[in-house]
Homo-oligomer: A and B are copies of this chain.
Amino acid sequence: MADADNPTELIADMGRRARIAAAALARLPTLRKAAGLQAAAAALREAAPAILAANARDMAAGAARGLSGALLDRLRLDAARVAATADGVAAVAALADPVGMTIDRSARPNGLQLSRVRVPIGVIGIIYESRPNVTADAAALCVMAGNAAILRGGSEAAHSNRAIAAALAAGFAAAGLPGDAVQLVPTTDRAAVGAMLAAEGAIDLVVPRGGKSLVARVQAEARVPVLAHLDGINHVYVDASADPAMARAIVVNAKMRRTGICGAMETLLIDRAFAAPVDLVEALQEAGCEVRGDPLEASIGEIVIPADAADWDTEYLDAIASVALVDGVEGAMAHIARHGSHHTDAIVAEDAAVAERFLAEVDSAIVLWNASTQFADGGEFGLGAEIGIATGRLHARGPVALEGLTTYKWVGRGSGQVRS
């Protein structure tokens, strides 16, 4: 064990052990990994009393430190949350294993048989905040995709995270998985985060899971690749051809089903030729949403709160929406290109040609036609779970689950071919 007081040495040592574990995990057949996750799920259920006791210590310390109610809620575990966490781990065990999957194959004229085969990425660092369930969620996804994980949770959840990680380790050990498959950084020293972000060669990918300031710090400092989730300034564009009832239902759901998630609509764009713009604004207001817009708009100006320029670039994550009238799909796409964050944008339209244009041309990780932006979620996309929603352009975009935690290699089978 390296000196925990020297974060660089600590992370380097954890990285070396993770690399050895990753090599072993990469070779494990699906059933062995699944058995490990099932054992970990059972261990989590068995350890529920210990996990809840550890969580109570974190909660007491958090309350004493004056953490906000929202933060304490994220930190809080109860029997149902521990059971749901265990169920989540077991559910990952049932997902299709991407490792070993052939992406494509070809036969070259010289007889060389080429294929691209999915392989694990290697060592994945997860940096997260107060939710202790991430310890189990992230570990399960990493391991099922054949990767070793180095987890660094928030200091306020230190006892909870340790108890959960201990249960996972017990389950993995019982099923014969490598002991270092999942390692929890044993210090809450913030310098350990810096050491992870600088660990080129030791950590292959860092996934930050948390609020904007965490993600921003990770992106600013990282020397290792980052799978990041930035803002979700998401738009719903209601075309003149939209069915008014469908538009109303989608707009209200996209904004108000849950206002704090990254898939929530922040800006409503209404075609000037749409028949019932007032209905959409009033539907939002009736659902409890504050609606901000241009007071000089003839149709909706009198019922909205005046918007200022910053509103079009704001991710409210709250019961607030901005609304703008635009000139058709061209106007909508221009607005989205200028103000969007390339996360999730939707069109409501009956005109298929207009919708297909929107789907083709809007440059976002997720584009939707006649569906709510709140579907931006790995579970809803059939991925079974998600490590996060990626808003970068490379490697993986949108909801990322097991496949996004793999890469590929080229495999060539020949019969003595030499290159001329």
Contact = CB atoms under 8 A, between A and B. Distances in A.
Contact of A412 (B371, B397, B413, B414): B371
A252 B337 CA distance: 55
A124 B407 CA distance: 21
A114 B381 contact: yes
A393 B121 contact: yes
A293 to B, nearest CB: 23
A321 interface: no
A362 B95 CA distance: 25
Interface residues of A, number: 62
Please classify the interface of chain A as helix (H, G, I), strand (E, B), loop, or mixed, using the class held by over half of its residues. Answer: mixed
A257 B370 contact: no
B407 A370 contact: no
A161 interface: no
Given A23-B363, A122-B393, A368-B412, 20 more contacts: A27-B360, A100-B360, A112-B375, A121-B394, A225-B392, A243-B416, A252-B418, A253-B418, A257-B418, A257-B419, A366-B412, A367-B410, A369-B412, A371-B418, A372-B419, A375-B417, A381-B410, A394-B407, A395-B395, A398-B410
23 contacts: A23-B337, A26-B361, A27-B360, A108-B380, A112-B371, A121-B393, A204-B393, A204-B394, A205-B394, A246-B416, A252-B418, A253-B419, A365-B410, A367-B409, A369-B413, A371-B414, A372-B419, A375-B412, A381-B410, A394-B394, A394-B395, A395-B395, A397-B410
